[in-house]
Amino acid sequence: MALNKTLVSFGKVFIVICGVKVSLKNGSNIKNYTNTIIVSNHISWLDIFAIHSLGIPGIFIAKSEIKQWPILGSLISNAGTIFIDRTNRRSIINVLETSKDLLLSGHTIVFFPEGTTSDGFKILPFHTSLFSLFLDNPQTKLLPIVIRYLKFGRKTSEPAYIDEMSLWGSVVKVLSSGGLEIQIEALEFAYNDFQLQNTNKLQKKRELAEKIREKISNKI
């Protein structure tokens, strides 16, 4: 698919421009990306480009505010990103319908269930609505991944886009920093290994989200 190749190529170029190294750990846990939902922790605006740079042609679900970011907002929009307004139920429903259609056509969907960025040393509570993409489509694959930022081999929060930091300030901080590496680890996941106790759909989403959150948190 042309879009997939463009996303991957641009991600690789953008990461080189930023002077950051990206590595993949446990890549054997990734069989293929067709009809796959990727769930990840979220630290920086760099996360999207780092994932693409590894050859993962994911279409991201991201908060609608990102569209207003100067330059980066346009780049992320042009990558086919699906924007969500979590305060608007109709927006959530539309995002779910669009994502389900893309999955059925073989695409990869990526979302950050924390809904915002952290410093990378902890994982925030998960929003659960998007986990219905998996529960409603048992033919899809679910792949949890963990993103870590290292500086000269040691874990760092330096690239984290958090608190009251401006986007421009974050970009300058990344570009002026040296020795940065983004390590992405693919976690093994087999749905059959998880015995969900609840039959109510809402409770099942919460239970699945918590199990995935625990799995990612253990690798932070």
Q: Which whole-number Å values give the CA distances from 169 to 37, 71, 174, in the listed order?
A: 32, 14, 9
Mean pLDDT over 91-112 rounds to: 93
Question: Which pLDDT tens digit goes with each residue over 103-144?
Answer: 999 999 999 999 999 999 999 999 999 999 998 887 889 999
pLDDT at 51: 93
Q: How many CB atoms lie within 10 A of CB 27?
A: 12
Report strand pairing: 108-111 vs 36-40.
parallel
Local confidence band at 202 (pLDDT 50, 70, 90 cut-offs)? confident
Q: Are 82 and 62 in contact (CB under 8 A)?
A: yes
For 2-217, which CATH superfamily applies? Glycerol-3-phosphate (1)-acyltransferase (3.40.1130.10)
Residue 103, H or E segment: helix 89-104
Global pTM value? 0.90
| Segments making up each domain of the chain, as ranges | 2-217
Rounded CA-CA distance 87/70 in Å is: 23
Task: Give CA–CA dist 151/120, Å, rounded.
Answer: 13
Give the other-Cβ count within 10 Å of 218's Cβ.
10
